Amino acid sequence: MCKMGPITMAGIMLIMIILTTQSFAETPKRPPNIDIGNFEYVLSSVNDVTRDVIVYWQNIHENEKNTIDDSFEYRAYYTSITDKNTIIHHPCNKTYANHATFVGLELNIGYNISVYSANKDGLSTEYANIYIPSSSERNDTVSLSLTKVKTYNDQGVYELSWEIYDSQKLFAANQLNYYTLYWCENDINHPNQCNGYMDWIYIPRTETSYIISVPDYWKDYQFAISANSMTLQKSNADGNQIYKFNSVSSGLVWESCTTLKITKTSKLNSIWISEVGKTFMALRWKFDCSEKTDFIHDFHIFYCPIQSLDDLQCLEKEQFKVVEKYMKQDRTPFAFLSNLKPSTTYKILILIYILNGDVIEGDPIIKATLPEAE
């Protein structure tokens, strides 16, 4: 058996250290993934004549960062060209785990934004690019509303539905038109920016709803949508006819209400009397995002006259009214209570009957009818 001397062993150890160090002495393998609609405008935090722009991306995997320390980060820049055709890279104001914020950008200028992966050895060789249209360009597109999100069960299955306005401005017959649906891991509901892993899927423009199963049902997710179009155009640059896609996007629009998880302890979001007379009341209510979802069977309304705010016991037998889920005005359910007594205080209670048999109860409201005219 051969024995190694201490010098030989030290040399081998030194070689191993050098090889180990060199194996990590390289920049990240690639930039993050970015889609055409991965941006949004928000009100400027510095004045009312500029805009703040947020650009989102999908994080790269740990084994692509090429680092064993905490030096990995994302870097985002927008570019401008000087009179001497010199390209200047302007860094973003702040970078987060999956998005970057640019503060005070001009309204009437479109911006090309590049996002790199970086570590202590430098930037990734390639970069992700996204174009942020000017306000005038964006006004030529559409507005979107992602309004209904619900949980079917506790296994992370959601139904999303959306509405699009002025779709003719973006969707045309000679274009590739589609939506992008986004989901992002998030501990805090919008308007707090989502800061977790983001993913997306493409949906045909003919669809207005989609059922999705998220990867980890025990996590909270935030959803968004963009409307996009791609037109194949001919370019005559340098005398050569080249076909390329001209892409336009509405930008990313987050869900307009929080994810709804129906439980027996859920409550009506708000109840109010929209009109009152001597013998009638018009009643309206909201329940988070439920106006368009299918899990509600109907609404039951109970009401009776009471002595006063200090005594909520019914003076007469409680009256009962059923309101079908499709009875709405201005997108909110409503009920009309008639044949009431003038100058009388009423207690009103709404129960929501769910298709799975659960019942959701709202807090009672107290309201008096108008007195008889003298």
Distances (CA, A) of 122 to 118, 177, 216: 6, 38, 33
Digit-by-digit pLDDT tens for the chain (374 residues) are 444 444 455 554 554 554 444 444 699 999 999 999 999 988 787 887 899 999 999 999 999 999 888 899 999 999 888 888 888 999 999 999 899 999 999 988 999 999 999 999 999 999 999 999 887 776 556 678 786 566 665 677 888 888 887 776 677 777 788 999 999 987 665 555 788 899 999 999 889 889 888 888 778 788 899 998 887 766 665 555 555 567 788 899 888 655 445 454 455 556 778 888 999 988 876 655 544 444 566 788 899 999 888 888 999 999 988 876 545 545 456 788 899 999 999 999 888 776 666 677 777 889 999 998 75
Could you give the CA distance from residue 168 to residue 9 in angstroms, rounded to a whole number? 74
The DSSP H or E segment spanning 122 is strand 122-123
Question: 371: which 2 tokens?
Answer: 């007195």
Q: Which amino acid type is present at position 80?
A: S
- The conformational region for residue 223 under phi > 0 = left, psi -120 to 50 = alpha, else beta, is beta
The confidence score (pLDDT) of residue 149 equals 63
Sheet hosting strand 281-286, strand order edge to edge: 270-276, 281-286, 332-337, 328-329
Residue 61 neighbours by CB under 8 Å, 6+ apart: none
Report pTM: 0.65
Q: Give, as one character, the DSSP assignment of residue 136.
A: H
Candidates 178, 139, 146; CA nearest to 160 is 146
Question: 200: which 2 tokens?
Answer: 């997306």
The confidence score (pLDDT) of residue 214 equals 85
